[in-house]
Amino acid sequence: MIRDMSMRQANADDARVLAEIHMQARAAAMPLLAVVHTQDEVFEYFRDDVIPGSDVWLASSPAGIAGFSARKEWELDHLYVALPFWRQGVGTALLHMAMLTVPRLELWTFQCNDAARQFYEGHGFEAVAFTDGSANEEREPDVRYVWEGPDDHV
């Protein structure tokens, strides 16, 4: 676990770093995944859509932004950790933050992302659907996960 890690909500000024973490983490975790948007397009997406329309949390350390999550109601749309902070508890902390106020979380991840699948399954998520990827931009087979909190969760 990272010493002195803190959490805060994201604002528009964070869009550039979120886009960078998003693109770098995807490239490292899935080097063969099709890249369908430029860095500027991803930045605009985070600035104009994700940050104003989601509950976005940043994990920070004295060394910088360690990762982020973005949730809309019960849908966890994004959870990415900056490469220098992989396997240091950042993803778990962000996931727990997303789980705090909802009785259920749902998300998609790519079938080829073994690390993400192990991570979510290790935190109690269950795979409920597999697709051929025809409905996503990358045309990559994906998997739908669901987590159900305890009945008295919220």
Mean pLDDT of 78-94: 96
Q: Residue 143: what pLDDT? A: 98
Q: SS3 for 62-94, per residue?
A: CCEEEEEEEEECCEEEEEEECHHHCCCCHHHHH
Binned at pLDDT 50, 70 and 90, residue 153 comes out as low
Domains of the chain and any CATH numbers = 6-148 (3.40.630.30)
pLDDT digits (tens, 9 = 90+) for 49-69: 999 999 999 999 988 999 999
Token pair listed for 25: 């983490």
pLDDT digits (tens, 9 = 90+) for 105-140: 999 999 999 999 999 999 999 999 999 999 999 999
Q: Specify the pTM.
A: 0.93
Q: Is 142:131 a contact under the CB 8 Å cutoff? A: yes
Amino acid at 140: E
Mean pLDDT of 17-36: 96
The number of CA neighbours under 13 Å toward the Cβ of 127 is 15
Q: Residue 3: what pLDDT? A: 76
